[in-house]
C-alpha cells in the first residue's frame, strides 16, 4: 500500500543531528512520518518544494519576555509569537517577568496561561519565578507544569510594588534546595548586584551616563562572581542550573569546567553577544542596551571560539521588548532607557548569517544550539528539537541564497525597533511549520497566528 502524507517537503537539504542530507520529509497528523529519497505522493498530499533550501528543526527559543498579563502594550503573545514564527521558531519559553503580576505563584501562572491561550502562533512553555518570599509557591508552580524557575541575582528593573525582584543569597540557597527536591531547574540571570549597584551609584553621582559608562558599571567580573557563587550553591544543593544570556567566554569556561566536574549546569548566550559589540551600543544607542551589556570586540571573538568548541549549550534571543519611546525619548539617558534587546525574529537568520555564511561553521552546530540541545535540556526531546521520525513536524525552511536588508516593516514586534535593522542578512526564512501546520511563509506572512499549545513540564519532562 502506498503511504499517504498530509504534506511532503521535497528536495530540501535536511539538517539532521550531525549531518545534512538531501531528503524528502513526509508529514502525517502533525508528526514527521517518513524521511527518505523520493517519497511517493498520493493525490491528497500537499507538496512544498525546498530545492536549494535548508530544512532545519524549528528553533526552540528558551528566553523571551512577552509582557502579558497587563503589559501587553509592550509585547503580547500574538505579536511576539508571530515574530518568532517569522524567524523560524516553533517553540518558545516565556519568562516570568515583565508582565503584571509576574509569574511567581499559581494564580499568576493561571493569568499568564489565559493570556497565551489561543493567541500563540507556535508552541510554548512557561517559566515560573523564584523571588524573595515565594518559596512556598514553588511546589504549586511545579505541579502546574512550569518549565523551571527563573531568578535574578541583580536588579531586574521595572516599576511598581509587585514587580519581579532579585533574590538575596538566602532565598537563592533555600530556593535551590527546594527546586532540587522538586526535580526542577533554576535559570539564573548572573550578575552581581553588589558590584553593579555600587558602580552604577558612583556613575550617577559623578554624572557619567554614556553607553560606555553603563557597560563599565556591569563589568565581566560581575558576571564571573555571580556564576561562581551560583555554581557553589548548585554543588551544595544539587539543584540543576541554567545560566541565561552569558556574555563572556570566561564565564562559559567556568560553567564548562563545572560540567566536567559533574555538575548539572548549562549555559546560554544570545545572538547580540555574538553579532554586536560595545561600539554598537555607542553608535545605535539604547536599542542596543541590555544587561549584561555588549562586550568588546575581543570578548565577542572569544565567545565565538568557545561556541565553536561546543562549550555553549544553547542560544536564545532574550527578546525583552518595550515601547520605542522607552528607548529613544528625547533627553533620555542611556542609563534611564529600558534595558533589553528586541531580537526574537532574527535569531536563526543571524546565527546562520554570521556562524555559517561568514565564519564557516557547520549548519548542524547552529541547529544543535537553537533546537536540539534546548529540547534535551528542558525535557522536550521526545517531541521537539530534531528532524526524526515520530517527532512533531516543527520545521523551518531557510534559503541560504536569499539575501535581504532588515527593515522595521519586516518586524512583527508590537514596537518595531531592533539593533539589527539595516543589517543585510545573507539568508532568509521562507516557511515555518509547527506540528505540520504552515504558520508562516515569506510570501504570505503569518498565516496561522493562534494554533500554539502550552507544553507543560513535570519533573523535567513534557507531560502533554
Ligand atoms: N527585565 C528584563 O527583561 N530584563 C532583561 N533585560 C536585559 N537582558 O537587558 C533580562 O533578561 O535581564
Ligand atoms: Zn536577564
Ligand atoms: Zn531576559
Residue 150 Cβ inside 6 Å of ligand 1? The answer reads no
Non-local CB neighbours of 446 within 8 Å, separated by 6+ positions: 82, 85, 86, 121, 412, 439, 440
Flag whether 391 is in a domain: no
248 C-alpha vs ligand 2 centroid, how far in Å?
14
Q: Work out whether strand 395-399 and strand 428-434 pair parallel, antiparallel, or are unpaired.
A: antiparallel
Flag whether 52 is in a domain: no
Please report which confidence band the pLDDT of residue 463 belongs to, taking 50, 70 and 90 as the band edges: confident
Flag whether 350 is in a domain: yes
Residue 65 Cβ inside 6 Å of ligand 1? The answer reads yes
Residue of 98, 127, 189, 323 with the most ligand 1 atoms within 8 Å of its CB, for mutation: 189
Q: Tell me the β-bridge partners of 15.
A: 20
Tell me the pLDDT of the chain averaged across its residues: 97
Residue 280 assigned ligand-binding role: no
Flag whether 330 is in a domain: yes
- For the segment 292-338, what is each residue's pLDDT rounded down to a tens digit? 999 999 999 999 999 999 999 999 999 999 999 999 999 999 999 99
- For the segment 47-86, what is each residue's pLDDT rounded down to a tens digit? 999 999 999 999 999 999 999 999 999 999 999 999 999 9
Q: Is the dihedral of CA 190, 184, 451, 31 positive or negative?
A: positive
Q: Taking each helix axis as running N to C, give the angle between helix 297-308 and helix 249-260, from 0 to 180 degrees, rounded to the nearest 10.
A: 30
End-to-end CA distance of the chain: 32
- For the segment 337-353, what is each residue's pLDDT rounded down to a tens digit? 999 999 999 999 999 99
Q: Which of the ligands is closest to the CA of residue 151?
A: 2
The per-residue pLDDT for 115 is 98
Residue 428 Cβ inside 6 Å of ligand 1? The answer reads no
- For the segment 237-246, what is each residue's pLDDT rounded down to a tens digit? 999 999 999 9
Q: DSSP letters along 77-97, please?
A: HHHHHHHHHHTTEEEEEE-S-
Q: Where are the alpha helices (DSSP H) in 261-335?
A: 271-275, 278-284, 297-308, 325-328
Strands (E), 238-356: 240-243, 265-269, 314-315
Q: Which of the ligands is closest to the CA of residue 321?
A: 1
Q: Residue 156 CA: which ligand 1 atom is closest?
A: 1
In the structure grid, which three cell numbers stand for residue 107, read together? 494564580
Residue 294 Cβ inside 6 Å of ligand 1? The answer reads no
Which of these, 421, 109, 175, lies nearest to 285 by C-alpha position?
421
Q: Is the pTM of this model over 0.90?
A: yes
Check if the beta carbon of residue 255 is closer than 8 Å to that of residue 231: yes
Check if the beta carbon of residue 89 is closer than 8 Å to that of residue 75: no
Query: Is the backbone peptide bond immediately before 69 cis, with ω within 30 degrees of 0?
Result: yes
Split into its structural domains, the chain has a count of 1
User: Does residue 40 carry a pLDDT above 90?
Assistant: no
Residue 256 Cβ inside 6 Å of ligand 1? The answer reads no
204 C-alpha vs ligand 1 centroid, how far in Å?
21
Residue 245 assigned ligand-binding role: yes
Check if the beta carbon of residue 80 is closer than 8 Å to that of residue 345: no
Residue 218 Cβ inside 6 Å of ligand 1? The answer reads no
Q: What is the mean pLDDT of residues 79-97?
A: 99
Q: Which domain holds residue 133?
A: 58-383
Q: Which residue has the cell 528566553?
A: 63
Flag whether 219 is in a domain: yes
Residue 272 assigned ligand-binding role: no
192 C-alpha vs ligand 1 centroid, how far in Å?
14
46 C-alpha vs ligand 3 centroid, how far in Å?
39
The per-residue pLDDT for 9 is 98
Residue 320 Cβ inside 6 Å of ligand 1? The answer reads yes
Non-local CB neighbours of 14 within 8 Å, separated by 6+ positions: 20, 21, 22, 23, 25, 35, 54, 55, 387
Strands (E), 312-462: 314-315, 395-399, 404-405, 424-425, 428-434, 437-441, 445-446, 457-458, 461-462
In the structure grid, which three cell numbers stand for residue 126, read together? 512557561
Residue 318 assigned ligand-binding role: yes
Q: Is the dihedral of CA 259, 272, 59, 13 positive or negative?
A: negative
Residue 318 Cβ inside 6 Å of ligand 1? The answer reads yes
Check if the beta carbon of residue 130 is closer than 8 Å to that of residue 462: no
The per-residue pLDDT for 192 is 98
Please report which confidence band the pLDDT of residue 2 belongs to, taking 50, 70 and 90 as the band edges: low
Q: DSSP letters along 16-39, please?
A: -SS-EEEEEEEEETTEEEEEETT-
In the structure grid, which three cell numbers stand for residue 240, read together? 540543576
Residue 317 Cβ inside 6 Å of ligand 1? The answer reads no
Check if the beta carbon of residue 61 is closer than 8 Å to that of residue 92: yes
Q: Could you tell me if the ipTM is greater than 0.90?
A: yes
The per-residue pLDDT for 44 is 80
Q: What is the mean pLDDT of residues 28-41?
A: 95
Q: Which of the ligands is closest to the CA of residue 316?
A: 3
Flag whether 50 is in a domain: no
Please report which confidence band the pLDDT of residue 464 belongs to, taking 50, 70 and 90 as the band edges: low
What Rg value do the Cα atoms of the chain yield, rounded? 21
Residue 290 Cβ inside 6 Å of ligand 1? The answer reads yes
User: Does residue 3 carry a pLDDT above 90?
Assistant: no
Flag whether 452 is in a domain: no
Residue 72 Cβ inside 6 Å of ligand 1? The answer reads no
Residue nearest to atom 7 of ligand 1 (CA): 340
Flag whether 393 is in a domain: no
* Phi and psi at residue 149, to the nearest 5°: -120, 145
* Phi and psi at residue 314, to the nearest 5°: -160, 160
Please report which confidence band the pLDDT of residue 45 belongs to, taking 50, 70 and 90 as the band edges: confident
Q: What is the mean pLDDT of residues 428-432?
A: 98
| Three-state secondary-structure class, residue 129 | strand
Residue nearest to atom 6 of ligand 1 (CA): 340
Domain with residue 269: its CATH number is: 3.20.20.140
Q: Residue 318 CA: which ligand 1 atom is closest?
A: 11
Residue nearest to atom 5 of ligand 1 (CA): 340
Check if the beta carbon of residue 239 is closer than 8 Å to that of residue 176: yes
- For the segment 97-132, what is each residue's pLDDT rounded down to a tens digit? 999 999 999 999 999 999 999 999 999 999 999 999
207 C-alpha vs ligand 3 centroid, how far in Å?
28
Which of these, 81, 24, 165, lies nearest to 453 by C-alpha position?
81
99 C-alpha vs ligand 3 centroid, how far in Å?
12
- For the segment 211-233, what is each residue's pLDDT rounded down to a tens digit? 999 999 999 999 999 999 999 99
Which residues place a Cβ less than 5 A from the ion ligand 3?
318
In the structure grid, which three cell numbers stand for residue 425, read together? 542578512
- For the segment 357-384, what is each residue's pLDDT rounded down to a tens digit? 999 999 999 999 999 999 999 999 999 9
Amino acid at each position: 500500500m502506498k503511504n499517504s502524507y498530509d504534506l511532503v517537503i521535497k528536495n530540501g537539504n535536511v539538517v539532521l543531528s550531525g549531518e545534512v542530507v538531501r531528503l524528502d520529509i513526509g508529514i502525517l497528523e502533525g508528526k514527521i512520518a517518513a524521511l527518505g529519497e523520493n517519497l511517493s505522493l498520493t493525490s491528497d498530499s500537499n507538496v512544498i518544494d525546498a530545492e536549494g533550501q535548508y530544512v532545519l528543526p524549528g528553533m526552540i527559543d528558551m528566553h523571551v519576555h512577552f509582557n502579558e498579563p497587563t503589559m501587553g502594550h509592550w509585547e503580547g503573545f500574538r505579536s511576539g509569537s508571530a515574530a518568532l514564527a517569522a524567524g523560524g521558531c516553533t517553540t518558545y519559553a516565556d519568562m516570568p517577568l515583565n508582565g503584571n503580576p509576574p509569574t511567581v505563584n499559581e494564580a499568576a501562572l493561571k493569568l499568564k496561561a489565559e493570556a497565551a491561550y489561543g493567541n500563540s502562533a507556535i508552541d510554548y512553555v512557561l517559566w515560573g519565578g523564584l523571588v524573595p518570599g515565594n518559596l512556598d509557591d514553588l511546589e504549586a508552580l511545579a505541579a502546574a507544569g512550569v518549565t523551571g524557575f527563573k531568578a535574578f541575582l541583580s536588579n531586574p528593573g521595572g516599576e511598581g510594588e509587585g514587580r519581579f525582584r532579585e533574590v538575596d543569597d538566602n532565598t537563592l540557597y533555600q530556593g535551590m534546595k527546594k527546586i532540587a527536591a522538586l526535580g526542577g531547574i533554576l535559570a539564573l540571570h548572573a550578575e552581581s548586584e553588589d558590584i553593579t549597584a555600587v558602580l552604577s551609584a558612583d556613575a550617577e553621582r559623578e554624572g557619567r551616563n554614556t553607553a560606555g559608562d553603563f557597560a563599565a558599571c556591569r563589568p565581566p567580573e560581575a558576571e564571573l562572581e555571580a556564576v561562581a557563587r551560583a555554581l557553589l550553591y548548585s554543588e551544595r544543593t544539587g539543584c540543576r542550573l541554567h545560566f541565561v544570556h552569558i556574555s563572556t567566554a570566561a564565564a562559559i569556561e567556568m560553567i564548562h569546567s563545572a560540567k566536567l566536574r559533574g555538575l548539572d549546569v548549562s549555559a546560554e548566550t544570545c545572538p547580540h553577544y555574538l553579532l554586536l559589540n560595545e561600539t554598537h551600543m555607542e553608535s545605535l544607542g539604547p536599542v542596543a542596551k541590555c544587561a549584561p551589556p555588549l562586550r568588546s570586540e575581543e570578548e565577542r571573538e572569544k565567545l565565538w571560539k568557545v561556541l565553536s568548541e561546543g562549550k555553549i549549550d544553547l542560544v536564545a534571543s532574550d527578546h525583552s521588548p518595550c515601547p520605542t519611546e522607552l528607548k529613544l525619548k528625547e533627553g533620555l539617558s542611556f542609563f534611564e532607557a529600558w534595558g533589553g534587546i528586541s531580537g526574537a525574529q532574527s535569531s536563526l537568520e543571524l546565527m546562520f548569517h554570521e556562524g555559517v555564511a561568514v565564519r564557516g561553521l557547520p549548519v548542524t552546530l547552529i541547529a544543535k544550539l537553537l533546537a536540539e540541545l534546548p529540547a534535551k535540556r528542558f525535557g522536550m526531546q521526545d517531541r521537539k528539537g530534531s528532524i526524526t521520525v515520530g517527532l512533531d513536524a516543527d520545521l523551518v525552511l531557510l534559503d541560504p541564497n536569499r539575501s535581504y536588508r532588515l527593515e522595521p516593516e519586516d518586524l512583527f514586534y508590537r514596537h518595531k525597533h531592533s539593533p539589527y535593522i539595516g543589517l543585510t542578512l545573507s539568508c532568509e526564512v521562507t516557511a515555518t511549520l509547527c506540528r505540520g501546520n504552515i504558520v508562516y511563509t515569506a510570501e504570505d506572512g503569518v498565516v496561522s497566528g493562534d494554533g500554539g499549545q502550552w507544553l507543560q513540564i513535570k519533573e523535567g519532562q513534557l507531560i502533554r
